[in-house]
Chain A
């Protein structure tokens, strides 16, 4: 690695590490256990775990077919559809939350019928949290999986098909295993995004302990009155995400964007 590049890379590492060091530096270690085992923290943590995993599951169920559609099916306006599906990555989350109101709220485009016909209202419910998280998290899975599908040598699937495998069998036994590293990476990115989601959640689902108050919301509100507690809760979130991201080994990320090697 050339020296100037190395210096820049080290600056980049410091850029990410320093704020974390700052949090650790300011953390009230002697009271940490009290804050972590407080009811608010545990309730918020449990809710965050449950909702972010649901959001990840939904992202996989809908996101993989969507990635497939974008990578493999030629249709007019494909670029526009892709942009549309990735829009929530650049949309300020609070705006995303308001947009969800217009679509799925009590007076929303679709939401009013959910309310009238099925008596379902999403705002201020745990389901609303999952919807908000899925809205912002799914694109991370979609772009990762789409990139892998594009890099995948189509001849592998062609070979499977010419050998008599059905479309579904080929998908399950050839395509999915080949993109599994990307799928895992995408799912973890989506999960991490869902776990940290704040703006769309507090806007669309509101903030009520046990129902919609996820960790980021609890952290934000405790910042108002008890910054010490906020720092401890934030560090807990960071520790959880860090553990998972470290678990995502280099080879998984390495596989994304490069031709996938299929063992003979």
Chain B
């Protein structure tokens, strides 16, 4: 174990040995960024990564209210725009990952769903995210693209709640991200949504203006965009931008 001194010396230029990078990341990045943080520390000994996960809009609110943050990773462009509109971006945001929507069904797909069109069946209990959150607006775009009218039983507050409803058997199907299906493993099955109707969720990352550790922020973002970082993200189901 390395014992780190608490003294502050203002003479460091490279990422200092006792530094911490504080990263606020969208909830859908929880597993991937936890591993990314560990890998980053392994590559940059002595630089710890403090992670805070929540819905992108909650994170923007926290940063706007003055939370001391170095890096913000958003699950959509709209919330990133909120942040840049407030002038809190230290650098230009860059896309670092993409995600695709998919239909989540119970293991073995007992209701035999083959695509978005099947979700219009009123006998099915379908849940989706509320239109107020990104996964809900994606779901609505997909239904519109496919020209189907789906009456969901519930507009869930986030994508994990959609997953939970299907895992518990209370809902027959829901619209989630590919990454959620990979996380659910054998507990759920996925039905692919055709490229012609699907939408691509884009994840931007940015350093924050006035970051306590601007060097650390830059190094962390470089790591996320590096082949090693992209490989970790891919293992959780994210695509490269």
Contact = CB atoms under 8 A, between A and B. Distances in A.
Q: Do A and B bind each other?
A: yes
Interface string B141-172: 00000000000111111000100110011100
Interface residues of B, number: 19
A96 interface: no
Nearest to A203: B161
28 contacts: A98-B168, A101-B168, A106-B125, A106-B170, A107-B168, A107-B170, A123-B170, A124-B125, A124-B153, A124-B170, A202-B161, A206-B153, A206-B165, A207-B130, A207-B156, A207-B157, A208-B153, A208-B154, A212-B154, A217-B157, A220-B157, A221-B130, A221-B132, A221-B155, A221-B157, A224-B55, A224-B133, A225-B132
A203 B156 CA distance: 8
B132 A222 contact: yes
A181 interface: no
B157 A202 contact: yes
Nearest to B155: A207
A241 to B, nearest CB: 22
Interface of B: 55, 57, 125, 127, 130, 132-133, 152-157, 161, 164-165, 168-170
Interface residues of A, number: 23
B121 to A, nearest CB: 16
A212 B57 CA distance: 24
A105 interface: yes
Interface string A207-243: 1100011000100111111000000000000000000
Given A101-B168, A101-B170, A224 B57 contact: yes
A98 B169 contact: no
A139 B168 CA distance: 27
From A98, A205, A206, A220, name the one whose CB has the most chain B CB atoms within 10 angstroms. Answer: A206
A98 B153 contact: no
A102 B164 CA distance: 12
B101 to A, nearest CB: 18
B57 A207 contact: no
A208 B156 CA distance: 9
Contacts of A223: 57
Contacts of A102: 168
B110 to A, nearest CB: 12
A225 B137 CA distance: 12
Contacts of A225: 132
Contact of A105 (B57, B133, B154, B170): B170
Interface string A184-212: 00000000000000000011011110001
Interface string A97-126: 010011001110000000000000001100
A221 B157 CA distance: 7
B169 A106 contact: yes
A124 B130 contact: no
Contacts of A106: 125, 169-170
B154 A206 contact: yes
